[in-house]
Structure 1
Amino acid sequence: MELAEALETIERLDPEVSAFTEVWAREALAAEPDGDLPLAGVPLAVKGPAGLRAYTARRLTAAGAVAVGATSVPGPGSPWLTWGLGAHGPTRNPWRADRTPGGSSAGAAVAVATGMARVATGGDGAGSVRIPAAWCGVFGLKTTNGLLPTPDRTGLASAGLLTRTAAEARPFLRCLLGPGGPAPAPAPAPAPTDGTAPGDGPAPAGGRTPAAPLPLRAVWSPDLGFAGTDPEVLAVTVAAVARLQSAGVIRLSGREAVLVDPKDAWTAVRAGRPADGAAVRAENDRRLDDVFADADVLLTPVTPNRPHGHDGPGAGVYSTSLTWAFNLSGHPAAAVPAGFTPDGCPAGLQMVARRGADAALLEAAVAAQRHLPTTRP
């Protein structure tokens, strides 16, 4: 039933939002899900034309998920931009059709936000999962660099997932990290919580991943010391942090997180000149090690700007300013919906954890999202 509903939603909505480049309705309906598999019949959207060959897609389909189509990414020959091009033209933000959904996992985020898929795969080399997740009001996870196989030879890109909420990502991350996959870092011991939020659902088979003790030791940075964050985006994320603090989810340490702007280092590594970015990379690693010496999570806005129009963000504006540092450092990072700017655009809160602490980061995001807005366009 869920699969048929997803395909009906694609047929109805995709001409408006253009999230897919290809839809595999016939193949999906012909599939006979094995009811003994943990993801039997779950509608899965895969990133880009080669998405079915990705490690994440192969693991999820082996667990019973059914691929419904390939999602949009920037068009051929495009520079590194936060937009997508689907079968019906530019991919549209489901909250504001005149704005981009972010990218490069553009269609993946739109598919999840609109109910055309329950989970979507993505790759994150500079923020390509986290940015569209933030701008479409869904959850996005970039895993620790090198934890899961990717074809990227620079080491910048890591595999990712997009789901409507952090809680809904649990069974999918479990399939990626479970038997036959890389082992996750041990999560901290569990702590009691006061009930569950809508959308939490039952724990995956085998038991819930232990939650980190609350409150989480947190460091908040509005700009990592260099990004010019839009005041309205900042207001949304500051309010989100205040709600988490008031709810007892986090305890702010008062420590600052100031990094060297990683733009030139990221560009050098991407261009195959890693030595040119080595000094900045080493300095930021040292500073992040210092932050995580006594913190569970580092919190920032996902992007310094709001979703821009389809003609681009404007000269000198980098939607990646607050995300690509963690592609260089390798830390796992998540985007959690934080609220809306006055013009009706979603904004996201970025949560970063120690390298290898992917399962613990997901549980931290679940705890946070219980106290933050979760809505659908």
Structure 2
Amino acid sequence: MGLQLEDQRQIAKEQRVRRTLSSLTDVAIFVSRSKILRETTLKFLTPVVERSVCLSQKNIVNKRILKDKTDMMMAVIYSALRANIHKKTVQILMKDVILNQEAKSKEYKFQVKHGFVPPGFINIAPGKLCNLKCLHCYANASTDKEKLSYKVFSRIIKEAKDNWGTHFFVITGGEPFLWKDEEYTLLDIAERNQDCLFLVYTNGTLLHGDTLKRLSKLCNILPAISVEGMEEATDARRGKGLFKKIVKVMNNLRNEDITFGISVTATTENYREILSDEFIDYFFKKLGAGFGWLFHYMPIGREPNPSLMPTPEQRLWMWQRSWNIVRKEKIMLGDFWNHGTVSNGCISAARPGGYFYIDWNDNII
């Protein structure tokens, strides 16, 4: 099917915008290293982001939704600059994931051929194996050795890149850094796909020694380390002494210029603590987390307990408080339940721009 004239004009316009943004990537990296330039640039950036959001979301007229999108984007920018992201990571994110012309062409060809927009990324859980046994683990991760083969894992990534141009993957588990097949590890997967960015949900206990060194060289893995609150809450669910271990890991990651974030599960017991000033200041301002993801507890997996699900009143409070953090503190803290306005609703089930999930038994969900 040939492209209509209007389609060709739109593609040409998007290509010009991406070329301009790509040329600004190196400038952005330079600016991020200078506090004075960073603060000056950010003053002029908000109206630019507001206009960009409006232009890219022409079908949305609700001003509050557009404000949510703009404020979250500004929080992402502020968080990225504050975290002092490694130059190589910025280049991969901008040039390979966001501004990749070849990838955009593949995405459009996929849409023309199949009649729908492909998902934006894939969530892959390559193995069930885990070195912890956390209470109420959603995946019921254990010492079981169910896993994807290296051949299948590699094929998933290759076909996603080739067929619709995605270069962003979310890796879960089990503990992803324990996955190994034919002597290949997750680090080898990342090394063989250096044009991709991998967001990896991890308990953080294995990020030391040679793993830390390789992460520092690769720069295309972003660890999202699980915490449950401060020390008492984290140790209660994950095991005694875990909090101190992951704090040490976060300090080491920051010292190596490895961008990392946190992943938090909200329950009826910890929902206020994980959004408290103490918690936010400690992880984002002191330890240097560059982003955070907030999940609401669901009674699935190991020892499901419905009483831990946040109540409607608690979820409302979390919605108000989390947006206060995003808007005032300019911290990238995404709530998968409460921030649906940012992503135009639920992103699961392979919806356009969303994702689908592949588990360690080759199941596509």
TM superposition score normalised by structure 1: 0.28
- Structure with max Cα Rg: 2
TM superposition score normalised by structure 2: 0.29
